[in-house]
Amino acid sequence: MASEKFTSDNITLPAEWRSKRMPLAAVGAVLIVVSIFVFAGIGNGLKPFFHSYLANFMYCLTFCLGALFFVMVQHLVRASWSSAVRRVAELYASTIPFWALLFLPIIITLFGGSDALYSWNKPEGIELEAVLNKLTYLNAKFFTLRTALYFGVFIVAARLYFGMSRKQDETGDREITLKLQRWAGPMIMLFAVALNFAAFDWMMSTDPAWFSTIYGVYIFAASMLSFFAVMILTCYMLQSKGRLQKIVTVEHFHDMSKFQFGFIVFWSYIAFSQFLLYWYGNIPEETIWYRDRMDHGWGTWGLLLIATHFAVPFLGTVSRHVRRRPGLMAFWACFILVVHWLDMTFLIMPNVGGVSLMLILGHALCWIGMVLVFISLFLWRVGETPVVAIKDPWLPDSLAYQNLP
Amino acid sequence: MSDHKPEKKVKPPQAFGWMAEYDDENKFLDAARKVRDSGYTRTDAFAPFPVHGIDEALGIKPTVLPWFTLIAGACGTTTALVMECWMNGYSYPYIISGKPFISLPAFIPVAFELTVLFAAFTTVFAMLGLNGLPKFSNPVFSNPKFDRATDDRFFIWVDSRDKYFNSDKVKALLEGTSPLAVDEVREDDTSTDVPKALYFGILTLILASLIPAVLVWNMRSVRSDKSRWHVFFDMDFMPYRKAQKQTTIFADGRTQRPPVPGTVPRGGYAIDDPMYLGYTPDANTAMITPDSSSVVKLVSAQEGAAQEPKPQEPAPTTQEPTPPAQEPEKPAEKPAQEPTAEPAKQEPATTEPAKQEEPKPEPAKTEPAKTEVAQEPAKPEPPKSVPATPITPAPAAQVPAAQAPAAAAQQPPVAAATPAVPDRKYLEKLPEQFQANDEMFALGRKKFEQVCSACHGFAGYGNGLVSKRAEALQSSYWLQPTSVHDERLQKQPIGQVYYTITNGKGKMAGYGSTLNVKERWAVALYVKSLQRSQNAQATDLSN
């Protein structure tokens, strides 16, 4: 293990990146505000904006949730290969507290009695008995309590894994790794329950009459896929700035790309399973959700998802030669990050109405704004923190790691 | 070679190149690089475990195997989609779950499976093919040192068939890579002949495998005075006995078993409650229980004998038992059971009820052709007045129940011959256990639409989907379901509708086992209300 690998200008963020965090946050916030006015052009009150806000919020939060799961599962299986890149994932996961704060606008509108996002918040407007029966579960107070619980689980797990890993940076204590491994199992179980119900509550309940038991798994698949794309892109960009040299190798890119490929297939599998069962069963209360997503331009959007969220990246990254070229994989990571937005849009936005130029424009502005805020928060969170867990006992293994041909 | 044929056996073992042995992974890798850089391509490396980087060190090009997998996978997808589109779209179009014939979402799972199947098989077999497997021997095996390749030694082999092979140079090259030893690989000089014992063994096995077949053939073609050999004894001799015979299986020696305590045979409960029957059993029919068909027979025969001037023909009644009280009307079956000659025999018996029937022949004449076509076989032989009698229940509804002979008209021909079963006093209203309220109507409608509407249609006109489909197919044997708005059915009391639902009529099966009592009454109520809805009177409006 050559010690020059761990000099500070190899394992910390470039200074020019860190200096950009305030402008990024400002531009992001402005764009989000602008999107409110764009949405005002299509009427329907704050409904389009809040739906767009939620879709883009989940777009960013899924990276962090994927990162958190990745960290825990690496400890669970005692993976050594990932030691060189795990810190980046820990850092992404530890931005979750910020996202809890960014969820507050939604909570506040709930207690303001608004049905802009969740129609169940105005019981007097509900006619469907099936929805009325759900009101004991779907109401502002219980919803807020559950949201607090979900964020509680995510934040505790993220702080545990990031905090202990930082402690190990100083002490090099191997016991810490053993402890984190012991906690990985229970934490993943909690995480799974929280993610599943968070997906039900935050996203699925925007259409309170509809239900899908696989929805949480769908969000999980989307989380993992987008997380690996973010990881590949982050490592690539850090390396292009002269960071992580000789630490993250082509072998790590290869492995993350394999995961990304796997989750492209897993996402398609889950998405198709959900569609096939509902399409085949042909029960009105189940197909209504897809009915909304086949009309008013969303049908084309869905076909676009099949092509760009499955077929194109599947064929694009199926080859080992592609996966072992970080530059190419950075392109495919960007591609995945765009189609992930298409996916989140497809899940949420059809509740607002048909596809229109203004809707997409406002939604895209909100998206860019939210991503800028996300980048800014990430840079802020990282600060001077090394992006490699330098005293991780697995690190020598990880540095010497090679994929078998 | 052909010139030296006689000398073949004394030819020295052919050299197959040089093999170097190493005890260290890094020396092994360095040597591989040197060999690669010297330009040799027909080389191979052997190690007890996968050595990282050996492919690159030895200059092995990336395998083309993934292309086989990709192409085979694409073939699998295409095969599955073409097969499904052709099969269900053109060759044998079949409506499945109301989906279009060519319905891509439903085809995807099969396409997925075939993709995986083709890709997996192709990968495995192409891998074997590309590796030249199975390969039973290799010249390097002739060196006993090579055994340690699976233990703690690394070997590099340069094949003499290499384009640039030069024995001395290769040896010098390998010796310069600090090996433990460099040995010449020689052809395995052990005999290539297959051992005679192997031929003998295989031949023996083949012959032995014929023995069972020969034995069976022998047993099947040769007579023997020995008793048969039973492989499964209790399959050839089952311990069953006929009813009324003795058995040793049960302690009481009886083959027939008493009913299990606490169980009720189907239809064996509440036999005299109008709620279950749909009619009020009177003194005559009180005895007629679902499981006492023999009693019915007896009573019918006696009463028939009392009324008949010619009692000399009890044969029809005894040979063909009067249907049990539960299912007295099975006109569809009866004509099929009776040879065409038989009704003629019964003629004398049927005349009497026929005469009494004469005052009201009109409904009988007009309706049977339409509603009871199943009985047509019985129709042509006797004079016109005779066949009309056994058929329609319409007279029964018109004639008061007191006119006993008219009741016989309801029965199939056999029953008509013995006009003993009196008319049933069908309930005119719902039994007192049920009220005609909204809940009952809703239940009736639900069950009617679930169970009855497939044939009778939602409005009861006998034009349900099944019927329409049968018409579309021009099915010759299809009989249109009866319209509940038929005048004959309009006049039926609700109890009779209930009775028909329970026991079936004509081609309609009984639904007593499908719907429970309440549901049957609800459906009957709904049928009556449907009839009313289609024939509303001005007086109905007052409500």
Q: What pairs with residue B91 in β-bridges? A: none
3-state secondary structure A321-339: HHHCCHHHHHHHHHHHHHH
- Residues of chain B with C-beta less than 8 angstroms from the C-beta of A321: 62
- Residues of chain A with C-beta less than 8 angstroms from the C-beta of B104: none
Q: Which of B52, B54, B71 is most worth mutating to test chain A (most A CB atoms within 10 A of its CB)?
A: B52
Q: Is B116 on the interface with A (CB under 8 A)?
A: no
Nearest Cα to Cα of residue B387 among B441, B423, B351, B434: B351
Q: Between chains, do A404 and B52 touch, taking CB under 8 Å as contact? A: yes
Region B385-390 average pLDDT: 41
The residues, ordered by sequence, that sit 6+ positions from A97 with a Cβ below 8 Å of its Cβ are A151, A155, A158
Q: Between chains, do B97 and A280 touch, taking CB under 8 Å as contact? A: yes
Nearest to A404 among B50, B66, B106 (CB): B50
Comparing alpha-carbon positions, the chain A residue that sits nearest to B60 is: A405
Sheet holding B181-186, edge to edge: B43-46, B154-159, B15-22, B181-186
H-helix or E-strand spanning residue B228: none
Query: Rounded to whole angstroms, how far apart are CA atoms A78 and A101?
Result: 33
Per-residue pLDDT at B298 = 52
Nearest to A279 among B52, B55, B105 (CB): B105
- Residues of chain A with C-beta less than 8 angstroms from the C-beta of B108: 272, 276
Per-residue pLDDT at B303 = 59
Q: Between chains, do A276 and B70 touch, taking CB under 8 Å as contact? A: no
| B430-436, Cβ contacts within 8 angstroms, sequence gap of 24 or more | B430/B494, B430/B521, B430/B525, B431/B274, B431/B275, B431/B521, B433/B275, B434/B275, B434/B518, B434/B521, B434/B522, B436/B525
The residues, ordered by sequence, that sit 6+ positions from A138 with a Cβ below 8 Å of its Cβ are A118, A120, A201, A205, A208
Per-residue pLDDT at B12 = 61
Region B46-59 average pLDDT: 88
Per-residue pLDDT at A215 = 93
Fold of B438-542: Cytochrome Bc1 Complex; Chain D, domain 2 (1.10.760)
- Residues of chain B with C-beta less than 8 angstroms from the C-beta of A279: 105
Residue B420 reports pLDDT greater than 60: no
- Residues of chain B with C-beta less than 8 angstroms from the C-beta of A280: 97, 99, 105-106
Per-residue pLDDT at B364 = 41
Q: Is the pTM of this model over 0.80?
A: no
Per-residue pLDDT at B305 = 55
For A358-393, how does the pLDDT look when each residue is reduced to its tens digit (9 = 90+)? 888 889 999 999 999 999 999 988 888 888 888 888
- Residues of chain A with C-beta less than 8 angstroms from the C-beta of B97: 280, 282
| CA–CA min distance A279, chain B (Å) | 8
Per-residue pLDDT at A54 = 92
Region B509-515 average pLDDT: 88
Comparing alpha-carbon positions, the chain A residue that sits nearest to B56 is: A405
Q: Is B295 on the interface with A (CB under 8 A)?
A: no
Report, as ranges of residue numbers, the positions in chain A whose pLDDT lies below 50: 1-2
For B304-352, how does the pLDDT look when each residue is reduced to its tens digit (9 = 90+)? 555 545 444 444 444 444 444 444 444 444 444 444 444 444 444 444 4
Per-residue pLDDT at A315 = 92
Region B146-174 average pLDDT: 87
The residues, ordered by sequence, that sit 6+ positions from B539 with a Cβ below 8 Å of its Cβ are none
Nearest Cα to Cα of residue A75 among A396, A382, A394, A399: A394
Q: Between chains, do B106 and A320 touch, taking CB under 8 Å as contact? A: no
Nearest to A320 among B66, B99, B108 (CB): B66
Residue B410 reports pLDDT greater than 80: no
Q: Between chains, do B53 and A275 touch, taking CB under 8 Å as contact? A: no
Q: Between chains, do B52 and A276 touch, taking CB under 8 Å as contact? A: no
Comparing alpha-carbon positions, the chain A residue that sits nearest to B66 is: A319
Comparing alpha-carbon positions, the chain A residue that sits nearest to B63 is: A405
Surface-to-core class of residue A8, CB atoms within 10 Å of its CB (0-12 exposed, 13-18 middle, 19+ buried): exposed
Q: Between chains, do B55 and A319 touch, taking CB under 8 Å as contact? A: no
The residues, ordered by sequence, that sit 6+ positions from B426 with a Cβ below 8 Å of its Cβ are B278, B279, B492, B493, B494, B495, B496, B499
Residue B409 reports pLDDT greater than 60: no
DSSP state of B19: E
What's the one-letter identity of residue B14? Q
Q: Between chains, do A276 and B108 touch, taking CB under 8 Å as contact? A: yes
Q: Helix (H, G, I), strand (E, B), or coil: what is residue B279? A: strand
Q: Which residue has the higher pLDDT, B373 or B147?
A: B147
Per-residue pLDDT at B284 = 52
- Residues of chain A with C-beta less than 8 angstroms from the C-beta of B106: 276, 280
How far out from the chain centre does Cα B304 lie?
Answer: 48
Q: Is B65 on the interface with A (CB under 8 A)?
A: no
Q: Is A324 on the interface with B (CB under 8 A)?
A: no
* ipTM of the shown complex: 0.84
* Chain position carrying tokens 């850090």: A238
Task: Look at A39-48, B287-296, B522-531 and tell me which has the smallest mean pLDDT.
Answer: B287-296
Q: Which of A279, A283, A294, A314 is most worth mutating to test chain B (most B CB atoms within 10 A of its CB)?
A: A279
H-helix or E-strand spanning residue B106: helix B104-130
Per-residue pLDDT at B255 = 86
Q: Between chains, do B108 and A279 touch, taking CB under 8 Å as contact? A: no
Q: Considering only residues 35 to 64 of chain B, which have any Cβ-Cβ distance to chain A shorter than 8 Å? A: 50, 52-53, 55, 62
* Chain position carrying tokens 């005559």: B284
What's the one-letter identity of residue B430? L
Residue B11 reports pLDDT greater than 80: no
Nearest to A280 among B50, B70, B106 (CB): B106
Contact B332, B503 (CB under 8 A): no
Q: Is A284 on the interface with B (CB under 8 A)?
A: no
Per-residue pLDDT at A18 = 81
Mean pLDDT of chain B: 76
Region B211-218 average pLDDT: 92
For B491-500, how does the pLDDT look when each residue is reduced to its tens digit (9 = 90+)? 889 999 999 9
Reported as a pLDDT band with limits 50, 70 and 90, residue B116 is very high
Q: Which sequence spans correspond to the domains of chain A?
A: 67-209
Q: Which sequence spans correspond to the domains of chain B?
A: 12-189, 286-290+305-423, 438-542
In chain A, the N- to C-terminal Cα span, in Å, equals 24
Q: Between chains, do B105 and A280 touch, taking CB under 8 Å as contact? A: yes
**Cβ atoms < 10 Å from Cβ of B526:** 24
Per-residue pLDDT at B207 = 96
Surface-to-core class of residue B63, CB atoms within 10 Å of its CB (0-12 exposed, 13-18 middle, 19+ buried): middle
- Residues of chain A with C-beta less than 8 angstroms from the C-beta of B109: 276
For B221-233, how does the pLDDT look when each residue is reduced to its tens digit (9 = 90+)? 988 888 877 888 8
**Tokens coding B363:** 């409904």
Q: Where are the alpha helices (DSSP H) in B38-102?
A: 54-58, 65-86
